[in-house]
């Protein structure tokens, strides 16, 4: 199963049990729907109801990105893996502040572990920042509410970002501070784009489990967003996405020519930059590591689903949840 990314404007039409992309110039391209898991739409695209009916039959998710290349929404087929007991327990763990705090703290501990894992390779250059993160980490256990915990996590991430210039060895890229809405420089553009991909990857894996993506613990459950995906993405952003960004910049695979400025101050990856980023992201997601408990090679993508299964076990009382803390120091070039 694979992800398909669409960058050209056009129309997707269904014929029987297959679909094809009709470009604006009339060119037709077949889309291999039988082995497609997600469609990522970065262009202006026309659909009809028969197409969505087929997507529901084939369990294909659609993820839509706006003009700036950032995630704007998803079409998710009807949930087939439903479990009322899991939904009830998932909600109960939100309503009980102690239960909610435990899960939220696990997400934060995992994120801190992976941030420290990234910066400790450069400890001679960033020792004061490492010390500050380690001191802030001690406050996580004492947080009495989610707002306090989020404040601690925000301070840690602010300190972590100050290490980026020591990690990035390409003089063409300098990082000053994190800016999201909108990103004003290339590194912020890369982080925002990467976070969009990470969010949809987590959502796609969560769909294959009984978890309800709208019931969350670290981020507030709210309307119009799958907030549990934001929670689990906190684990994988420093582990997967930040390392990917460092590699793309340091190996000069992403260069200044891969960015464009809109309205003079909004910095975005252009289409070529997005394609390079996505290709390396897909390669990284299919890379495997030897899982200590399963005793077999496991892809980064499947590690996300395993995290969902671990959370379910915690919710139904089978096993206390311990968020992922990477035990490997490098990954061999082994892909599924």
Residues contributing to the annotated binding site for Mn(2+): 153, 219, 234
| Torsion sign over Cα 133, 136, 138, 140 | negative
How many DSSP H helices and E strands does the chain contain?
A: 11, 12
3-state secondary structure of 151: helix
- Residue 31 parent element (H or E): strand 28-31
End-to-end CA distance of the chain: 11
At residue 235, the 3 state secondary structure works out as helix
Rounded distance between C-alpha atoms, residue 220 and residue 218, angstroms: 6
Any idea how long the chain is? Answer: 336
Q: Specify whether the CB–CB gap between 312 and 86 falls below 8 A.
A: yes
Per the annotation, where are the binding residues? 153, 219, 234
d(CA 64, CA 85): 31
Distance CA 191, CA 160 (A): 14
3-state secondary structure of 7: coil
In 168-240, where does DSSP find H-type helix?
186-207, 227-236
User: Which residue has tokens 């060119």?
Assistant: 27
Cα(161)–Cα(336) distance, rounded to whole angstroms?
32
Query: Which helix (H) or strand (E) segment is 272 a member of?
Result: helix 271-286
Assigned token pair, 25:
């110039």
């Amino acid at each position: 199963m694979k992800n398909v990314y669409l960058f050209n404007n056009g129309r997707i039409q269904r014929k029987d049990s297959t679909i094809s992309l009709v470009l604006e110039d009339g060119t037709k391209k077949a889309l291999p729907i039988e082995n497609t898991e997600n469609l990522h739409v970065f262009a202006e695209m026309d659909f009809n109801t028969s197409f969505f009916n087929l997507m529901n039959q084939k369990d294909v998710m659609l993820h839509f990105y706006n003009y700036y290349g950032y995630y704007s929404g998803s079409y998710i087929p009807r949930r087939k893996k439903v479990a009322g007991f899991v939904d009830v327990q998932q909600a109960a763990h939100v309503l009980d502040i102690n239960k909610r705090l435990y899960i939220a703290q696990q997400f934060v501990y995992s994120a801190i572990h992976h941030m420290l894992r990234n910066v400790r390779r450069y400890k001679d250059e960033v020792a004061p920042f490492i010390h500050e993160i380690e001191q802030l980490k001690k406050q996580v256990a004492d947080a009495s509410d989610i707002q306090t915990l989020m404040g601690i996590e925000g301070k840690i991430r602010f300190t972590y970002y100050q290490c980026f210039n020591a990690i990035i060895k390409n003089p063409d890229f300098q990082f000053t501070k994190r800016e999201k809405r909108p990103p004003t420089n290339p590194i912020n553009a890369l982080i925002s784009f990467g976070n969009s991909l990470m969010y949809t990857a987590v959502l796609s894996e969560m769909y294959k489990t009984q978890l309800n993506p709208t019931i969350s613990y670290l981020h507030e459950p709210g309307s119009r967003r799958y907030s549990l995906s934001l929670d689990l993405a906190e684990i994988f952003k420093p582990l997967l996405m930040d390392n990917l960004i460092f590699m793309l910049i340091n190996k000069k695979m992403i260069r200044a020519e891969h960015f464009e400025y809109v309205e003079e101050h909004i910095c975005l990856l252009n289409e070529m930059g997005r394609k390079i980023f996505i290709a390396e992201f897909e390669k990284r997601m299919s890379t495997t590591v030897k899982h200590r408990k399963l005793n077999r090679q496991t892809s980064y993508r499947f590690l996300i689903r395993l995290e969902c299964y671990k959370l379910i076990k915690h919710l139904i009382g089978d096993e206390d949840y311990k968020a992922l803390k990477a035990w490997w120091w490098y990954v061999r070039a082994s892909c599924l």
